Amino acid sequence: MKRIGVLALQGAVREHVQKLESLGCEAVLVKQENDLEQLDGLVLPGGESTTIRKLLDRYELLEPIRTLAQQRLPMFGTCAGLILLAKELVNYMPHLAVMDVVVARNSYGRQIDSFEVKLDIPQIGEAIPAVFIRAPHIVSAGEGVDVLARHDGRIVLAKDNHLLGCSFHPELTSDTRILEYFVSSMV
């Protein structure tokens, strides 16, 4: 059984845990450094990246997670989790700085803070529901990065080797295909 950690400091933690369990994985809540032991993969959920960053510092998790990413532990960042992974952020200092993408926060303007679309993702499937909530987007991606999906011309899902990041919240719909892609083809 695959053991997948879910960073459990703030945000959509429970939804990821339920989805991982429904896919037959063991989900481990990560709140302190020893929770990171013997994981096969790690999910960084959506929430508020500045809050999650403060808590990562308080619980001394930033360096241990960065080290695991450098050791190629598969990681999946959704929304704020993508912001945490990005090597570069527009107008902000980066956090883990491990995924070769430049990310802009809150890219979708106030009047459409939240919306749902259906994405066709050739590597994963068709009409996959994607919920965007004050979502970031990937402004540019390095050479080794596979761009998996765009919405309105903007990159919203990308894979940098063992790191997967998306702008939206796949855990907030009943569709498990993106998480399944992470768990079965990357972990």
48 binds ligand GLN (CB under 6 A): yes
Segment contacting ligand GLN by CB under 6 A, of 23-31, 59-67, 77-85, 116-124: 77-85
Active site residue 171: yes
Q: Does residue 9 contact residue 55 with C-beta atoms inside 8 Å?
A: yes
Position among 16, 19, 95, 105 found at the interface with ligand GLN (CB under 6 A) = 105
Q: Can you tell me the distance from the alpha carbon of 88 to that of 97, in angstroms, rounded to the nearest whole number? A: 7
Active site residue 79: yes
47 binds ligand GLN (CB under 6 A): yes
106 binds ligand GLN (CB under 6 A): yes
165 binds ligand GLN (CB under 6 A): no
Q: Can you tell me the distance from the alpha carbon of 139 to that of 154, in angstroms, rounded to the nearest whole number? A: 7
- Please report how close the Cβ of residue 182 comes to ligand GLN at its closest, in angstroms: 17
Position among 9, 39, 43, 46 found at the interface with ligand GLN (CB under 6 A) = 46
* Residue-wise DSSP of 55-97: HHHHTT-HHHHHHHHHTT--EEEETHHHHHHEEEETTB--SS-
Segment contacting ligand GLN by CB under 6 A, of 21-29, 47-55, 63-71, 173-181: 47-55
Count of Cβ atoms closer than 10 Å to residue 175 Cβ = 17
Contact residues for ligand GLN, defined by CB under 6 A: 46-49, 79-80, 83, 105-106, 133-134
